[in-house]
Chain A
Amino acid sequence: GQNIDQPTEMTATEGAIVQINCTYQTSGFNGLFWYQQHAGEAPTFLSYNVLDGLEEKGRFSSFLSRSKGYSYLLLKELQMKDSASYLCAVRDGNYQLIWGAGTKLIIKP
């Protein structure tokens, strides 16, 4: 079967750096997405990786290793507004999205 694993919850301190991991086993791979979802709000697109390596976008970076079936989202200089759930989604061999359950990130002052 297809599976995406993310930690359920993480806690970090304002101003610090946090890394949210995502591992996947899917039937084929055609890219990986990260979305952010604040409580009670719509998920919004953060990043997309299809090739190995690091994609940087301001305070947020996303890394992919296809051979390891692994990605992480790196958040730097954490702000209170970064408290949210972070969803990992893989586009499989049939170009369908498989979603992880999400990681709830709690930022403490």
Chain B
Amino acid sequence: DVKVTQSSRYLVKRTGEKVFLECVQDMDHENMFWYRQDPGLGLRLIYFSYDVKMKEKGDIPEGYSVSREKKERFSLILESASTNQTSMYLCASSPTGPGDIQYFGAGTRLSVL
């Protein structure tokens, strides 16, 4: 069974804090993605990575950065959390490109107070 694991299901942080969201996949997939999911909106791509140390901006990269030091791990970093970053964050992986079947983690619900 394929597995994408996000380290936290719920996080509460304060404005201005640096926040790390971690994601690990055990499928040896080349591609990994970070999305945010907000009510009434489709999934929005923040960043994706197609290889170790490689990254591409998605549709809404402002205020975020990412790190991929190992193939199985993709981290999303909020350098200085703001209240408008309160959201559900979903990590996904895919054996091919961003336009193919993706395997998702269960999500991290982040609240920034």
Contacts and interface: CB of A to CB of B under 8 A. Distances in A.
B104 A98 contact: no
A25 B101 CA distance: 21
A97 B98 contact: yes
B106 A101 contact: no
A99 B42 contact: yes
Contacts of B98: 95-97
Contacts of A95: 97-99
* Interface size class, chain B: 10 to 19
Contact of B90 (A30, A42, A89): A42
A33 B101 contact: yes
A44 B33 CA distance: 15
B43 interface: yes
Interface string B77-99: 00000000000001000000111
